[in-house]
Structure 1
Amino acid sequence: MSDRGRATMKDVAALAGVGLATVSRVINGVAVDPHLTGRVLDAARQLGYRRDTAATSLRRADRRTSTIGLVLQDVANPFSSALHRAVEDACVRRGLLVLAGSSDEEPERERELLGVLLTRRVDGIVVVPTGAPDGELAAAHRDGTPVVCVDRASPVPGVDTVTADNRGGVAGAVRALHALGHRRIGFVADHTTLWTARERHQGFVEATAELGCRARPEWVGRDVHTAEAARQAVTGMFTTSPAPTALVTAQNWLTVGARRALVGLGLHHAVAHIGFDDFPLADMLDPPVSVIAQDPAEMGRRAALILLARLDGDDGPARAVTLPTRYIARGSGEIPPPGR
């Protein structure tokens, strides 16, 4: 064993009774006589040998590190968690480690995370961008590091993207409420700096205009980011006169806050409510929450596959994948307006 107490390939070779070159081939996955392979692996286990991936990457001609960077909005959000798992599953099958962090929608934190990941020489990056101009992201793309933006459009031209049909999803929810007889429809959305929030708001604006519904300013809340902020916004919205008879919330935490407000006002059985993004236990509430569901797992899987294809040498034009949403009718979105 080396003086530092950490087993080396030389230690493994000595215990296995083979040459250093044989150990190197086994450790790096090169085909070797099965008997020798078994001796090397047994020796490695006995000594607690761990492959030094950093040193290996320096010796490789392509300088690959077998790591992928993943920058999410918030790993605690169910949407981000599902996306994270899908990316990880796809990458693990290729022997790649995923290093993940949360931007918390802060452009400076996003830049710091990207800087750290690039310093660690990750082979590629999947990012949910905040939307702010990002020199780190632009530099990574310019320098040849494969980048895929997921959930939101890229602030850097020429970068692969995987997004959902945000406009169409919200527009479909408005049409469903209109078909029930609702004409006074409220709307609550996240930061206007976010591409998804702007797209969902645009879907609301276009659908209400198409259907002849007049959305009063006091029925629309924007730049609402937390569940508590949504609770306050919706509480204020439903103390106006006239108040909306239906509500669309454009993010899962906002849906949770809005439901708290409606329960607090005793209106959760009287006001139709549709949320964008599903969330755990939405089907267990009373009434269960109807949602416009994205598929974060499929979004993450598609982003990972595009990234892996780039790592395999695909140098074709940038891809822009838009995944459909689906409406899940559970009860809250099917409440008719008063008098119906």
Structure 2
Amino acid sequence: MHNKALAPEYQGALTKMSVNASLTDVLAEGERHLRAAELSGSQQEVARTGLAVAEAHRRLGHVQDADRAWKASYRAARSAEDIGAMAWALWSGGTLARQRGALRLAFRLLGLAADLGKQGGDVVARGYSLAGLAETGRIQGDYRTVAALHEQLLAEARARGEARHTVWALEGIAQIHRNTGSFDTAMEMFEEAAQLAGDADDRRGRAWALRGMADIISVRDNAPQRALDLLAEAELTCREMNLSSALAYNHKMRANVLYRAGRYEESRQVYQEALEEFRAMTEPRGEALARLGLVKSLARLGRDRAETAAELDGLRVTLDRIGLLNARDMVDKAYAELGVSPAGDTVAGEDGHR
């Protein structure tokens, strides 16, 4: 039995905020209560309310503001000797690092957060930090290492009845199955995640699950309109909650579906839209993957083969720098699909979940 979805990152005076609250509302409330906490002199409250401010900024794509906010939250938590709040601040920082493509920093910060969560007896902070490590490894493409951790976290979330974390774990495992070709298993898990998220009123989690379902329906079933309908439903949630990153990934998936359906001019337009969205929030992984889709669409529309090859060469280098392990296969498939040859022999990365 699972409870309604909660947002444990909304702490201090913001504990009653809904998981489905618009991020602009979360930011406004967080900043208001943060000012009050600073005036009161309570460093613990500064740390706790500052966490919500950091997370709202991160999810809205305000990278520099998010970076300042999580660090300020950590300093306040350390001053208050609140180990649990220190863990949450590091979790936020590690999640931001992953979003920015700094995967080594993400591993370091999330590992520290998990240790502090355990030390401070904050089971949820520890769980979220371990989940962050698992997701970072999955995005990197290191499935063998993180698959067992995903399963462990799913079991723990189910045992505690934490709907939101259960949905996250189901989606992560589903993504691994999808990326390794087990489409039927992936679809079953995405469907379970969507159902559970709906029952628990976790609109963000359901939007991500619908995106995963749309991907499978497009690849396995060759049913682009059904996939586009699911993405349209998810997009409404992204816009209503101001989920900037989720919206950009939704658009990239829409472009993927259009490309697979041979609708190359439409895919080109949507990849370009997603690319601009990723650039606006300084999300290099999403930007590189949108660029790859854009290169493929332009090639299908008659772009010069030498220009296509040069762009793919650059993408290999970019994705390698981010540290994604499986991008060589993805880019090599693009070379083969488009009938062009690489100029060099560098390495690159792969498409992940979030």
Is the TM-score greater than 0.5?
no
Higher relative contact order (CA 8 A, sep 6+): 1
Bigger helix share: 2
TM-score range, shorter chain: under 0.3
